[in-house]
Structure 1
């Protein structure tokens, strides 16, 4: 079973894709949750710091506030979410703090936002108006947030990769088990003899149940086919035997030198016997081909190019004797899985049909190309539109080029049955002149 067509490979691929989506979704949710938590924490720290500084300003005045701000800057380490301050008048002139200039934040509405701290750092800040000509900015660096988020991303990348690989491994193991079990069912359908070993499978799950039902159905079908074949062969034997005896009696009667009228009648009777035997064999072949339609057992590679060339060479002599123009064009290397004897009979029936219905002087052509696609065309009287499908019915007989009705009317019916047995279609093309039978996939 090809991996690219296997449903189990698609299931594993789907599981891997779903796992990747789930890992990415979980990472995104975690990233956003942690980011929001860190930002909320920074905002709370800033608000608590501002509340303390406002209280100092209210109780001790501007000088005390500036001194406390400078003390906090001096005592806070440079790493981590360090606090940063800016105490300035409304003109932006610095009174205290380590932030060089006032950012684009409105203190009148206690605006918050991301600001630049130094040349490379970022921070979360809030601006407040302390007095008519005094404003305060408190910020917390958020650089460490990026490191936390990077670590989370790395953890998800490593853990997610391991998770996806584990899903792929377990999925592949499970898929191989299912593929093997389904493969047993497919093998039983391809080779019915294998069904006996699977008929007793039971227990486990739905696939075991399907395996048992399939095996028993295949076994029943095989038994019915064998019974049908045995009955048909027995029936054919029982009919051939008396017909052969009757033919032998007619032959002995002819050896006794009867009168010409009697001899003529005896010869006609022998012809009828032969026609009956041929009709019986054709009916059995049609029934056998239809019963095995789509079945792969018994098929082997057949070189259609070589077969068509051999048959055309054989029929070229007959066509010359009957005054027909016979040509063929065969693409080399065209092969098909089939039964060589049956395919040969199919092509023979088409050629017999063409030479029988095309008057002397007419043309018959055969074309084979890859596909396979075989066309047997002629410039004879053609087929009436109303009879285009009827000609493939059993016992339908058209008039030959001598105006008489010949044959059993089973040639084209047998040809179509053989085509269907091999997964091919046999049809009559719509042509203005003559007939064109097309055999193709």
Structure 2
């Protein structure tokens, strides 16, 4: 046989050959097991019959044993039974066996040549026999002719051999076909991974309408690739956003430093330039810290630290934290907190989410307005609501304001990361972030 030189074709042949060899070996093992079971079943049936004969004659009175033996032989129409009563010296008392075998091994039964006395023209025959003592001066030889048994076993063996021939052919054919099919499927996955490693993330595996196990695996791989492509696109988008968002404030910072250094006339002017630069640098560091915070939240590694959290206490603490700032800005901060069942989560993250919502309401609400914070219990769980007197977020922008660096038309100073952090914290906890349709309010729904 000429084997292909292409490594992929050689792999297909190896897969097919290995599977075919396994199937052929399985068929041979099954045939041998069936043969051993059939042979053992014949032997056990014979030994059971011989044991019955020994038991019967052992229970028969000594003076009736010869007559019972002759009746048993008369009922043996197939002439395949051997029975003989012998005295202590080995002389035949009654039966169809001329003499005992020269050697009587221990054990239940053994195969030996016997000399039949009632089979004309036959001086020796092979049988499975047993010699059992009936009394101190009498022994019984019981045996079964093996000619019919061996013929039956030979027929079984020939049937198995004849059945193995087409079985081996089918096993070889099925093994080669199935092995090559499996090798082609693996090769399809390999080619896909090569294209993905080269940068083509749009490639997907074909999935049939009624997938088998490999088809389901292909579907899962495609889902994994969709998620991978989405994450890579997200990372690229984050990189572009960071470059875009950081370039403008860095350019502005450099221009201010350059102008301030050129226009500064004394130490006080230099100090003022430095103070302005520090303010802008702190803002840039805040953006970087917020991005790192978002990356930490999207990792979902903090779920292992979740514990029952009193949501009412967290909102109350957030209100206390923002009251001094609200008074400085002339904003009326009102908090209506009702007791709610504990929720599973991270207390520090939930505190950060509520604080961001309150801070946004104070920042984008009208000057001298009011911010209302409430905790209530709804059929779907605990609800934290933060509302202000502003116009609210337009419906067209609600899906956008939770994206990184997106700023509404009214947002002039923020970096566009506040609601992104709140949305990431809500997703981590399995909560929902909603916007009211009839008023300027943001709701955090926390199923208990």
TM-score class normalised by the smaller sequence: 0.3 to 0.5
TM-score by structure 1 length? 0.39
